[in-house]
Amino acid sequence: MRKYLDRFKDYLSSERNYSRNTLRAYTTDMGEFFRILKENDVLDTKSDDSALASLDENAVRFYIARLHKSNMKSSISRKLATVRIFFEFLTKNGYMPNNSARLVPTPKNEKKLPNFLTVDEVIKLIDTPGFDKPLETRDGAMLELMYSSGLRVSELVGIDLRDIDLESSTIKVLGKGNKERMVPMGSKAVSRLRLYLSKRLDLKPKNEALFVNSRGGRLTVRSVDRIIRKYALLSGIPKNVSPHVLRHTFATHLLGGGADLRAIQAMLGHESLSTTQRYTHTSIEKIMEIYDKTHPRA
């Protein structure tokens, strides 16, 4: 199959304009594909043409089954995509009558639920930052707000001063697809934000971002992730704590407190079960009522 693999590489480079790293990855995948078929006598190795003739839907299914058995489930989709592109190349150039790899469905990945914190753990995490230094008050307000409102980290760093309403305990966030939504804040989050805002000018902010770094610029997603992990370590929580874990913790605690699933989806800005329109019928007043009854820090 060497001549077909060499032509495949030329095809990826010239017609698809793939980078050197991508070419290396595709070559590695195809090398593994042929090795597995050869070792299990699925590939006819008498000649390149006979090997080509043995490539069919059953050969691809065998390959996928071996990957699955070898506990390589997380990379099966990518490897199958590589094989499909190789078969597409063979078909396009008349080496194969049809792309039988398309007949092999992509296996569904098992979705693992992210970790979540207990109420005691999340309170320990939130209470770890101090209450005096500007950066520590920022971190405390940030942690409290993420747990209080279930924000995505991208939404958190995008918040401007004009987006928060401490009097009504609500915050406007810009979610996926540039869709705005109003989200409740708990009384603890409001208190922490008031404290941080009283010290925010000490950080010499250069813009209207709510959360700024030590140089006055907008806090980044990477910085938030690093800050959360730092306080998780300092608070002695034996879990891998990330921004998404806090978001999942928010939803888990609301659901455990009896909150309506549609209200939780509206607060999270999820569209996984239906479209956004389904959630917009839940008014902000109803959401606030549910939030006050079910959130541990409301």
If you count them, how many residues does the chain have? Answer: 298
Instruction: Give the pLDDT score at 50.
Output: 75
The secondary structure of residue 18, as a DSSP letter, is: -
Mean pLDDT confidence for 105-131 = 82
Q: Return mean pLDDT, the chain.
A: 86
Q: What is the pLDDT of residues 158-199, one digit of tens each?
A: 999 999 999 999 999 998 878 899 999 999 999 999 999 999
Instruction: Give the pLDDT score at 277.
Output: 33
Mean pLDDT confidence for 51-66 = 87
Angstrom CA distances, 217 to 146, 163, 214, 294, stand at 20, 17, 8, 35
Instruction: Give the pLDDT score at 293.
Output: 80
Positions marked active-site: 152, 176, 244, 247, 270, 279
Least confident of 53-67, 69-83, 180-194, 215-229: 69-83
Instruction: Give the pLDDT score at 74.
Output: 64
- Please, what's the largest Cα pairwise distance for the chain? 79
Superfamily holding 119-294? Intergrase catalytic core (1.10.443.10)
Higher per-residue confidence, 275 vs 135: 135
Least confident of 12-26, 39-53, 198-212, 268-282: 268-282
Instruction: Give the pLDDT score at 188.
Output: 95
- The pLDDT confidence band at residue 111, using thresholds 50, 70 and 90, is low
Contacts of 171 (CB under 8 A, 6+ apart): 145, 149, 159, 163, 164, 165, 182, 183, 184, 185
**CATH tag, 2-103:** 1.10.150.130
Instruction: Give the pLDDT score at 109.
Output: 61
> Do 77 and 107 meet the contact criterion of CB atoms below 8 Å apart?
yes
- The pLDDT confidence band at residue 274, using thresholds 50, 70 and 90, is very low
Parse the chain into domains and list their residue ranges. Answer: 2-103, 119-294
Alpha helices by DSSP H, listed for the chain, are 2-14, 20-39, 48-53, 57-69, 76-92, 119-126, 134-149, 153-157, 187-199, 221-234, 243-256, 261-268, 276-280, 284-294
Spatial CA neighbour of 252 closest among 276, 268, 272: 268
Mean pLDDT confidence for 257-272 = 78
pTM score, whole prediction = 0.59
Instruction: Give the pLDDT score at 178.
Output: 85
Least confident of 35-49, 123-137, 143-157: 35-49
